[in-house]
Amino acid sequence: MGYFVEAKQDVKIFVEDVNPAGEHTLLFIHGWPADHRLFEYQFNVLPAMGFRCVAIDLRGFGHSDKPWEGYSYDCLADDVRSVVDALHLRNFTLVGHSVGGAISIRYMGRHGGHGVSKLILLAAAAPSFVQRLDFPYGLSKDDVDRLIEATENDRPKMLRDLNGMFFFRNIGEPFADWFFQINLLAAGYSTTAVLVSLREETLFGDVASIRVPTLILQGVHDEIVKPQLAAVLHKSIPGSKLVWLGDSGHGLFWEQKEKVNEEIIGFVC
C-alpha cells in the first residue's frame, strides 16, 4: 500500500506500507541517491515473517515532492517525525541505510527517539561521513566535492559510474539498470544538496544520545561509508552489536540480503 504524508513546508512524503497488521513494525530510511525500493529484498521476505514494513522516499527522491530547500539532517529528520506521527507508530524499529542511517541518528537526537524501541544502522554515514581535523576516518571532502561536480555536470554518468563504488560483488546489466533507474528518479538538485549535508554535518552529539538497543551492519569492502565508521559507532553506542559482512560493499541490503534479513529478524524478535 502506497500513500502520501504531509510534512513541513507542505511537502508530501511517499510512504510504502506493507503488511500493516504485522506484529513488529520496521520503518526504513533509504540512502543516497536512491529511494525506498532499495529495500525490495527485505520487503520480499520480512512481511511473511510477521513484520509490518514501512519505508519512505526522502524529500527530493523517489515519489516524494522535490522542493528546492530542506535537505539538512534536521529537516529530513523532521520529515521522518511527520510520518511517525501520521501513522501513529509506536514501539517500532528504525532502520537506516547510509545517509538514511545518519538521518535516523539525527532523529534519535533531535526527537528523543520518539516511538523507537530499537535501532538498526546499515552502513550508516555517521558520526561524520568525511574526514575532519579531529576525525581521520571517512571520505575526504575532496572526494565528496568530486561527486558533487560529477552530479552537476553529468548526473546520469555519475550514477552509472556509482555502481563500481557502491557494490563489491559483480552485478549484472539488468540489476545495474534497475539501480540506475531508481537513482535517476531523484531531482538533480536534491542529489547535490544531500551530498552537501553529508560533507558539512556531523552527528557526534546525536550518537551520544542513543539509549535503545542498536544493531550495526557493515560491509567490510564498503568504499562509500568506510568500515572504520561502523567501529566508531559501535564504540560510541553502549551495548550495540556490530556485525561485519565479509562479502559486501555499500550495497549490503542486496549483496548479503539473506544475512541482513536474518540479523534483522533475530535482533527485533
Per-domain residue ranges of the chain: 2-268
33: which 3 cell numbers?
Answer: 541517491
Long-range pairs for 74-78 at CB < 8 Å and ≥24 separation? Answer: 74/106, 74/110, 75/8, 76/103, 76/106, 76/197, 77/103, 77/106, 77/107, 77/110, 77/111, 78/7, 78/8, 78/110
DSSP 8-state symbol, 132: B
Q: What is the pLDDT of residue 63?
A: 98
Residues marked active site are found at 98, 222, 250
Cα distance between residue 197 and residue 184, in whole Å: 20
From first to last of its 269 residues, the chain has per-residue pLDDT tens of 788 999 988 999 999 999 999 999 999 999 999 999 999 999 999 999 999 999 999 999 999 999 999 999 999 999 999 999 999 999 999 999 999 999 999 999 999 999 999 999 999 999 999 999 999 999 999 999 999 999 999 999 999 999 889 999 888 999 999 999 999 999 999 999 999 999 999 999 999 999 999 999 999 999 999 999 999 999 999 999 999 999 999 999 999 999 999 999 999 99
* Four-way CATH pick for 2-268: 3.30.930.10, 3.40.50.1820, 3.40.190.10, 3.30.160.150: 3.40.50.1820
What's the CA gap between 53 and 46, in Å, rounded?
Answer: 7
Strands of the sheet with 241-245, listed across from one edge: 2-6, 12-18, 51-56, 24-29, 92-97, 116-122, 214-219, 241-245
- Predicted model pTM: 0.97
Collect all residues with Cβ–Cβ distance below 8 Å to 84 and sequence separation of at least 6: 27, 92, 114, 115
